[in-house]
């Protein structure tokens, strides 16, 4: 996420981070570099200029040069300004109605349907919410199918009316259906066009007026940079929406949209989409995002993601197995699947302070576990639960079956043994023993 921008800001702030003495001259020089980095990330010229002016003003106001650690203070000022620019505090969505109606708007391809599913799944997992998805794209039958596929995937009901070509009527019928069937949230997915046009604007505005949603969200593809900001402006003029959803932040986005959108439409970014999977949704926290942009990682989000995937029941079962020495490859596979659910690997590594920068040139893809999974899938159930059975001929067969080499199979077995040992020690309160092992 935002690698290029992070790199450039890191270089710009290098001097201030304690690699040389700080003078008025290099503060000015640094700010020029910061502005250039923002412009390269596709941040609007005016916003970039205002940003550096504000940082300069604050630095002068706080007499940065006379403080004990001027570099750190400057970095803090940049961070605070970046946070402010992206929206200050995180803002949730309004779920006050019964049902609370959420209207999705945005261009075709921005990720509306995908996000509708992600939001429904996110709310469903909160246990107190029973969402209903409503398909209001009357022009593309495939869009209705897509929403049904998404609904099935996450176990959320989808309301559609294929013969009907009046989106206002469909959304009203959807809300009535929700009321009659105990759904307390209705998410309305609407039709988008490839570009802003009058017909689309009239249609979404009609739906908006007719159903008076508690929350109107504007979904935008962050890869579109400055265009994202212009589209947001056009939709906001018509809908006066409540919040922005920034999708595809997992891609090679330059970051301009995330940084500029709030100050152009004065509406908060509420969620971000970081992948095609239903779990790839995050609440947008401006300050955490600023940390990530400045290469400081985001441990809080990393821990939260881990917690979301944590299943107490499973954890207890696992503990028992470890204690009884029954931890097998099937359990290992389950652990891998849980890690994968946390998000794409590069993204996760980027949340560890310092690691993102260190690993930025390392090619890590989501297939990182593919070899391991293939090897485990090629084992028989008996082998999976009794790794001790493994001999040369079994290894050869497994390597052949998984399209890997005996060497790779051996490597996995070694890792597995080490991991099992470590888990057993941690369980037995064997901190001391582990320290001993590390010393040896
Ligand atoms: P809609 O036309 O606005 O409903 O857009 P869709 O939901 O159909 O999304 C368009 C494409 O973008 C699909 O291929 C999605 O899988 C993809 N997509 C949506 N959100 C994300 C995201 O956060 N990250 C990535 N990488 N792809 C996404």
Question: How close is the Cα of 114 to the center of ligand 1, in Å?
Answer: 6
Q: Is 287 found in the same domain as 402? A: no
Q: What is the pLDDT of residue 431?
A: 46
Q: What is the pLDDT of residue 73?
A: 79
Per-residue confidence band for 23, with pLDDT thresholds at 50, 70 and 90: confident
Domain termination site, one of 294, 328, 358: 294
Q: What is the pLDDT of residue 52?
A: 93
Domain presence at residue 365: yes
Q: Is 186 found in the same domain as 269? A: yes
Domain presence at residue 393: yes
Query: Where residue 14 sits, what CATH number does that domain have?
Result: 1.20.120.140
Domain presence at residue 124: yes
- Does 433 have pLDDT greater than 70? no
Question: How close is the Cα of 111 to the center of ligand 1, in Å?
Answer: 4
- Cβ atoms of 194 and 108 within 8 Å: the answer is yes
Q: Is 314 found in the same domain as 182? A: no
Cα 74 to Cα 136: distance, rounded to the nearest angstrom: 49
Domain presence at residue 70: yes
Per-residue confidence band for 354, with pLDDT thresholds at 50, 70 and 90: low
Residue whose CB lies within 8 A of the most ligand 1 atoms, among 111, 138, 200, 224, for a mutation test: 111
Q: Is 130 found in the same domain as 274? A: yes
Q: Is 234 found in the same domain as 111? A: yes
Q: Is 321 found in the same domain as 255? A: no
- Does 59 have pLDDT greater than 70? yes
Residue whose CB lies within 8 A of the most ligand 1 atoms, among 120, 276, 346, for a mutation test: 276
Domain presence at residue 91: no
Q: What is the pLDDT of residue 426?
A: 66
Indicate the range of 151-155, 234-238, 339-343, 399-403 predicted with least confidence: 339-343
Q: What is the pLDDT of residue 371?
A: 84
Per-residue confidence band for 210, with pLDDT thresholds at 50, 70 and 90: very high
Atom of ligand 1 nearest to the CA of 137: 4
Q: Is 320 found in the same domain as 274? A: no
Q: Which of 13-17, 147-151, 159-163, 200-204 has the highest mean pLDDT?
A: 147-151
Query: What average pLDDT score do residues 248-255 get?
Result: 81
Q: Which residues line ligand 1 (CB under 6 A)?
A: 106, 108-114, 192, 247-248, 250-251, 273-276, 280
Domain termination site, one of 241, 270, 294: 294
Helix axes 370-377, 392-402, angle to 10 degrees: 120
Atom of ligand 1 nearest to the CA of 273: 23
- Cβ atoms of 288 and 301 within 8 Å: the answer is yes
Count of domains observed in the chain: 3
Per-residue confidence band for 356, with pLDDT thresholds at 50, 70 and 90: low
Q: Is 221 found in the same domain as 161? A: yes
Percent of the chain whose pLDDT exceeds 90: 40
- Higher-pLDDT residue of 140 and 365 is 140
- Does 32 have pLDDT greater than 50? yes
Query: Where residue 157 sits, what CATH number does that domain have?
Result: 3.40.50.300
Q: Is 65 found in the same domain as 142? A: no
Strands 281-283 and 269-273 turn out to be: antiparallel
Q: Is 189 annotated as a binding residue?
A: yes
Residues 47-56: tens digit of each pLDDT: 999 999 999 8
Question: How close is the Cα of 113 to the center of ligand 1, in Å?
Answer: 7
Atom of ligand 1 nearest to the CA of 189: 4
Residue 226: exposure state from Cβ atoms within 10 A (0-12, 13-18, ≥19) = middle
- Does 355 have pLDDT greater than 60? yes
Domain presence at residue 300: no
Q: In what order do the strands lie in the sheet with 281-283?
A: 158-159, 131-136, 185-190, 100-106, 215-221, 243-247, 269-273, 281-283
**What is the chain's alpha carbon radius of gyration, rounded to the nearest angstrom?**
26
- Does 273 have pLDDT greater than 90? yes
The conformation of residue 107, written as its DSSP 8-state character, comes to -
Per-residue confidence band for 434, with pLDDT thresholds at 50, 70 and 90: very low
Query: Where residue 339 sits, what CATH number does that domain have?
Result: 1.10.260.30
**Tally of residues, the chain:** 440
Q: What is the pLDDT of residue 440?
A: 41
Q: Which domain holds residue 367?
A: 306-439
- Name which of 164, 154, 80, 87 is nearest 121 in CA terms: 154
Beta-strand runs (E) in 84-233:
100-106, 131-136, 158-159, 185-190, 215-221
Q: Is 295 annotated as a binding residue?
A: no
Residue with the nearest Cα to atom 19 of ligand 1?
111
Residues 277-333: tens digit of each pLDDT: 998 999 999 988 888 888 776 666 677 777 777 777 777 887 787 777 788 888 888
Query: What average pLDDT score do residues 344-359 get?
Result: 68
- Name which of 234, 266, 237 is nearest 110 in CA terms: 234
Q: What is the pLDDT of residue 313?
A: 77
- Does 100 have pLDDT greater than 90? yes
Question: How close is the Cα of 91 to the center of ligand 1, in Å?
Answer: 23
Q: Give the global pTM.
A: 0.75
Q: Is 310 found in the same domain as 289? A: no
Q: Is 280 found in the same domain as 331? A: no
- Higher-pLDDT residue of 185 and 127 is 185
Residue with the nearest Cα to atom 20 of ligand 1?
111
Cα 18 to Cα 27: distance, rounded to the nearest angstrom: 12
Q: Is 244 found in the same domain as 155? A: yes
Atom of ligand 1 nearest to the CA of 107: 3
- Does 89 have pLDDT greater than 60? yes
Cα 431 to Cα 259: distance, rounded to the nearest angstrom: 45
Q: What is the pLDDT of residue 149?
A: 96
Domain termination site, one of 247, 266, 294: 294
The pair of three-digit structure tokens given for residue 325, joined into one six-digit string = 């020495």
- Higher-pLDDT residue of 349 and 256 is 256
Return mean pLDDT, the chain: 85
Question: How close is the Cα of 189 to the center of ligand 1, in Å?
Answer: 13
Q: What is the pLDDT of residue 148?
A: 96
Question: How close is the Cα of 109 to the center of ligand 1, in Å?
Answer: 6
Question: How close is the Cα of 279 to the center of ligand 1, in Å?
Answer: 13
Domain presence at residue 301: no
Q: Is 108 annotated as a binding residue?
A: yes
Domain presence at residue 189: yes
How many CA atoms does the CB half-sphere of 157 hold within 13 Å? 15
Q: What is the pLDDT of residue 428?
A: 56
- Does 158 have pLDDT greater than 60? yes
Q: What is the pLDDT of residue 401?
A: 93
Q: Is 109 annotated as a binding residue?
A: yes
């Amino acid at each position: 996420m935002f690698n290029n921008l992070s790199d450039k800001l890191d270089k710009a702030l290098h001097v201030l981070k304690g690699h040389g003495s700080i003078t008025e001259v290099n503060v000015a020089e640094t700010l020029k570099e910061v502005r250039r980095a923002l412009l390269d990330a596709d941040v609007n010229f005016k916003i970039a200029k205002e940003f550096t002016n504000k940082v300069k003003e604050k630095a002068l106001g706080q007499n940065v040069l006379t403080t004990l650690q001027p570099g750190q203070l400057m970095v803090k000022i940049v961070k605070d300004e970046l946070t402010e620019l992206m929206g200050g505090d995180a803002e949730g969505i309004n779920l006050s109605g019964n049902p609370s109606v959420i209207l999705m708007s945005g261009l075709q391809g921005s990720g509306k349907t995908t996000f509708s599913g992600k939001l429904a799944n996110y709310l469903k997992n909160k246990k107190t919410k029973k969402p209903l998805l409503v398909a209001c794209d009357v022009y593309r039958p495939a869009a209705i199918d897509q929403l049904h596929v998404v609904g099935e995937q996450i176990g959320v009901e989808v309301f559609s009316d294929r013969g009907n070509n009046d989106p206002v009527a469909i959304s009203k019928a959807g809300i009535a259906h929700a009321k009659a069937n105990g759904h307390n949230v209705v998410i309305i997915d609407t039709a988008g066009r490839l570009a802003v046009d009058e017909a689309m604007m009239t249609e979404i505005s009609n739906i908006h007026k007719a159903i008076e949603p508690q929350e109107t969200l504007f979904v935008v593809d962050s890869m579109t940079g400055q265009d994202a900001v212009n589209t947001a402006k056009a939709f906001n003029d018509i809908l006066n929406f409540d919040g922005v959803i920034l999708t595809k932040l997992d891609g090679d986005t330059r970051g301009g949209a995330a940084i500029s959108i709030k100050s152009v439409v004065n509406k908060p970014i509420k969620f971000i989409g970081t992948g095609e999977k239903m779990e790839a949704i995050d609440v947008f926290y401006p300050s955490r995002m600023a940390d990530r942009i400045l290469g400081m990682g985001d441990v809080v989000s990393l821990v939260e993601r881990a917690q979301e995937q944590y299943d107490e029941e499973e954890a207890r079962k696992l503990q028992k197995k470890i204690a009884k020495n029954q931890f097998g490859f099937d359990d290992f596979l389950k652990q891998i699947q849980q890690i994968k659910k946390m998000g794409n690997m590069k993204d996760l590594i980027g949340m560890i302070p310092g690691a993102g920068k260190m690993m930025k040139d390392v090619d890590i893809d989501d297939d990182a576990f593919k070899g391991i999974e293939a090897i485990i899938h090629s084992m028989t159930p008996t082998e999976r639960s009794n790794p001790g059975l493994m001999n040369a001929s079994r290894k050869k067969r497994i390597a052949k079956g998984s399209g890997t080499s005996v060497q790779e199979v051996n490597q996995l077995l070694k890792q597995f043994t080490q991991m099992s040992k470590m888990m057993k020690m941690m369980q037995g309160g064997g901190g001391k023993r582990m320290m001993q092992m590390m010393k040896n």
